Chain A
Amino acid sequence: MRNRLQLKYLPLRFPSLFPLILLLVAVTVNAILQPNLLELRVMNGNLRSFLPLMLVAVGQTLVIIGAGIDLSIGAIVSLVTAVLVTNLLPDSPPLVIIGVVALACAAGMAAGALNGFGVAVLRLPPIVTTYATGFIFSGLALWILPRPGGSMPEQLARLYRRVTPLNIPLGIWIALILILLWALFRHTRYGSYLIATGGKPEAAYATAVPVNAVRFGSYVAAGLFAALGALVLTLGTGSGDPRIGVGITTTGGMTLDSIVAVVLGGTRLSGGQGGVAGSILGVIILGLIRNIISFADVPSWNQTLVDATIIIVALAAPGLIGWIRDRRRRALPPKEMVQEVAG
């Protein structure tokens, strides 16, 4: 009995366990198809291309743990991208760069504040609120930057592309810093507030947790992370596209990818549980799946189907395992239960 209980609670105690297994599988398959995968240069390039989504997914994780959701996060990335590339030149001096980056972060946080206002102050449902604000942000992005273009400071972009401190890819450094920050934050009072707010808002409110302030804060933080994601995205590409964060549909692209990454990482959409490490693993898994598909010579017309099917299976796998176990248990009532009834 004890053993079974432990197995049942394993995913709850270590939410990153399942994504870790998925990651191992993905890395193995990828390394077979692409033997130079683990070389520093290739790894640096891969992780750098995952980095924008990683930052966005961290922001999305904070909102989701607080039992919200941010469908506008991709549009915030677009908006911040537009702000960055229209204010920077290839040879901008460092002070200007710092100023513009600060402005971009402020823009992201202001966008997040609008979401927070709608959800926490006006008490509107998060899905529709952030869907509506997403329109506002992508409209603003199009207004600031009507067509793809603009530029980023060349030296900074070159530094960003090349730097590998201690021969470890930049992506790993940033991921480790994010995980460390989350581990520290979680154990502060505000970390507990966030988890309590997402878990049971009424109970949190009754125990003097400032529920609305916490919700508001989580959206502002998501805006900030979206802005940082936009920064590394534009540093990587060197110019800006006002639709870069949203894809074809208003909430496609990075918004949906970030939500899928969060769920793959073991954070529940119902809130009150989860962590940043899982989401980062989720982003890497998503990226590796796409890598595998392009290296496996899947015909281009079938790539979307393969990609989506793998993601669905990965999303459903924990449920599938649980369902099979439930069935088996129901078919054969455990001995302990029979004894309990008899006793």
Chain B
Amino acid sequence: MRDGFRLSPTLLAVLLAAGLFFLGGIIRPGFVNPSQAINIVRLAAFLGIIAAGQTLVIISGGEGIDLSIGAVVTLAAILTYRINAGQNEMVLPALAAALAAGAAVGFVNGIGVAALRVPPLVMTLGMAGVVQGLILSYTQGNMVGSTAPIMSQYISRPLVLGIPGVVFIWLILALLMWLLLERSRYGKHLFAIGVNRTTARLSGVHVPLMVILTYTLSGLLAAFGGFILLGFTGVVFLNLGGPYLFPSVAAVVVGGTAISGGKGSYSGTMAGALVLTLITSLLTAMQMEDAFRQIILGVTLLVLISLYGRQRGLRQ
């Protein structure tokens, strides 16, 4: 950049989150307290885990975006709910089934995008419809099953020092994502195909394989998010994951990952998830009408994007 000095998007988003939190305290006394802070981090953790795969897909470039995430979250939660049927010993098989289903959906997305050249937006959107259709014909509207006690115990209830387990799961995932993006060959290749697919191919990166792998990972991570989300909600419904779809894109973009690909980080997405969760919690705490809540959310998103989502001008 010309100016030389520029805040890193992650830092900016974290500062923004802190600012919003204290703004909440001014607007609504009692908003600022440790239990509220923990609650917000807990809510942000679900969005953050669900948005992990979205981060990878968006970094991979080529108009990459995964709109099937919401449906995969729901599918994973419903599978887990039905398979574990309230038994603690069935949690791991249920998790395995959910992850396999999510990875399979992601794999089909990857094949469609990489081999059949369908634009990611419509491919993943179409798959979202297929997954929603699968859910409907599989359940026939009956949500049979229940959540194992161990899941809510380790996910949403306080585990250590009043901090719920999901926050620790999020931190472990963050460490893994950092290793994946910054310290692995996969990460190096991912940024390479995100910047320029042709140069990546000429430098020996197997681009189609990377794309398929990335969408598969995205499906897998979304399914993991669905599993975790079930530990929080305890019940499943048909539109469980839907409300997380576009916030997952927004969290990635607010976190400074370029929508054109090749640039970004998972720490940014985590900060983005915090900011988005804070905004929605604030708007809920202010007990605003749905209409105004949507308007304010839209305006805030626009402002956030214009802080650092701007593309280069044609003159430059």
Q: How far is the CA of A201 from the CA of B313 in the complex (A)?
A: 10
From known contacts A125-B253, A259-B122, infer whether A135 and B132 are also in contact, taking CB-CB under 8 Å: no
Complex contact B301–A315 (CB within 8 A): no
Query: Shortest beta-carbon distance, A15 to chain B, in Å?
Result: 15
Cβ A270 vs Cβ B119 within 8 A:
yes
Q: What distance in Å separates the Cβ of B257 from its nearest Cβ neighbour in chain A?
A: 11
- A308 to chain B: which residues have CB within 8 Å? 126-127, 129-130, 132-133
> Within B90-136, which residues are at the interface with A (CB < 8 Å)?
112, 115-119, 121-123, 125-127, 129-130, 132-134, 136
CA distance A323 to B260 in the complex (A): 26
Contact between B291 and A316, CB atoms less than 8 A apart: no
Say yes or no: B306 contacts A128, CB within 8 Å: no
Determine how close the nearest CB of chain B comes to the CB of A204; give it in whole angstroms.
Answer: 9
Interface contact A139-B295, CB-CB below 8 Å:
yes
Chain A 311-334 near chain B by CB (<8 Å), digits 1 or 0:
110011001101100000000000
Residues in chain A near residue B302, CB distance under 8 A? 118, 124, 129, 132-133, 136
Expressed in whole angstroms, the minimum distance between the Cβ of B307 and any Cβ of chain A is: 10
The size of the chain A interface, using a CB distance under 8 A, is 55
- The answer to the question of A62 belonging to the interface, with a C-beta cut-off of 8 Å to chain B, is no
A303 to chain B, nearest CB (A): 8
Residues in chain A near residue B8, CB distance under 8 A: none
Known contacts A256-B125, A315-B122; A127 and B259 CB within 8 A of each other: yes
- Within 8 Å by CB of B65, from A127, A211, A250, A316, lies A127
Interface string of B242-285 (1 = CB under 8 A from A): 11011001100100000110000000000000000000000000
Interface-side segment among A140-148, A159-167, A175-183: A140-148
Contact residues in A for B144 (Cβ distance below 8 Å) = none
Q: Is A202 an interface residue (CB 8 A)?
A: yes
Asked whether any CB of chain A lies closer than 8 Å to the CB of B185, the reply is: no
Residue of B nearest to A268 (CB): B119
Q: A205 — which chain B residues lie within 8 A by C-beta?
A: 314-315
Nearest CB of chain A from residue B244's CB, rounded to whole Å? 10
Q: A128-B250, A139-B292, A301-B140 are in contact. Are A319 and B63 (CB under 8 A)?
A: no
B294 touches A142 (CB 8 A): yes
Q: Does A134 contact B (CB under 8 A)?
A: yes
List residues of chain B with CB within 8 A of the CB of A135.
Answer: 294-295, 297-298, 301
- The chain A residue sitting closest to B121, CB to CB, is A269
- With a CB–CB cut-off of 8 A, which chain B residues contact A139? 290-298
Q: Judge if B203 is at the interface, Cβ distance under 8 Å.
A: no
In the complex with contacts A128-B249, A302-B136, A315-B123, A248-B115 CB distance below 8 A = no
Closest CB-CB distance, B295 to chain A, in whole Å?
4
Choose among B118, B239, B246, B313 the residue that contacts A316 (Cβ–Cβ < 8 A): B118
Instruction: Flag whether A18 is at the interface (Cβ < 8 A).
Output: no
| Contacting residue for B301 out of A132, A202, A305, A323, CB 8 A | A132
Q: Contacts A211-B314, A319-B118: A127 and B249 contacting too (C-beta < 8 A)?
A: yes
Chain B residues whose C-beta falls within 8 Å of the C-beta of A263 in the assembled complex: 119, 122
What chain A residues lie within 8 Å of B130 (beta carbons)? 305, 308-309, 312
Q: Are B314 and A202 in contact (CB under 8 A)?
A: yes
Chain A residues near B70: list those with CB within 8 A: 249
Residues of B within 8 A of A136 (CB): 294-295, 298-299, 302
In A248-272, the 8 Å CB interface with B consists of 248-251, 256, 259-260, 263, 268-270
Check if B305 is an interface residue, CB within 8 A of chain A.
yes
B34 within 8 A of A: no
B242–A309 contact, CB under 8 A? no
Select which of B127, B259, B293, B312 is within 8 A of A312 by beta carbon. B127
Please determine whether B306 and A323 come into contact, CB atoms closer than 8 angstroms.
Answer: no
Say which residue of A137, A260, A320 sits within 8 Å of B122 (CB atoms). Answer: A260
CA–CA, A123 and B258, complex, Å: 13
Which residues of B does A touch, CB under 8 Å? 63, 65, 70, 112, 115-119, 121-123, 125-127, 129-130, 132-134, 136-137, 140-141, 239, 242-243, 245-246, 249-250, 253, 259-260, 289-299, 301-302, 305-306, 309-315
Given A139-B290, A312-B112, A316-B112, 6 further pairs, Cβ under 8 A: A138-B294, A142-B294, A205-B315, A249-B70, A260-B125, A304-B136
**What are 29 A-B contacts defined by CB distance under 8 Å?**
A118-B302, A122-B306, A123-B311, A125-B305, A127-B121, A127-B259, A128-B250, A132-B305, A136-B295, A139-B290, A139-B293, A140-B291, A202-B314, A205-B315, A250-B246, A259-B125, A269-B63, A269-B119, A301-B140, A304-B136, A305-B130, A307-B129, A307-B133, A309-B130, A311-B129, A312-B126, A312-B127, A315-B123, A320-B116
Q: Could you list which residues of chain A lie within 8 angstroms of chain B, going by C-beta atoms? A: 69, 118, 122-125, 127-129, 131-140, 142-143, 146, 201-202, 205, 211-212, 248-251, 256, 259-260, 263, 268-270, 301-309, 311-312, 315-316, 319-320, 322-323
Which A-B residue pairs are the 9 nearest by beta carbons?
A305-B133, A308-B129, A135-B298, A139-B294, A319-B116, A139-B295, A136-B298, A132-B301, A304-B133
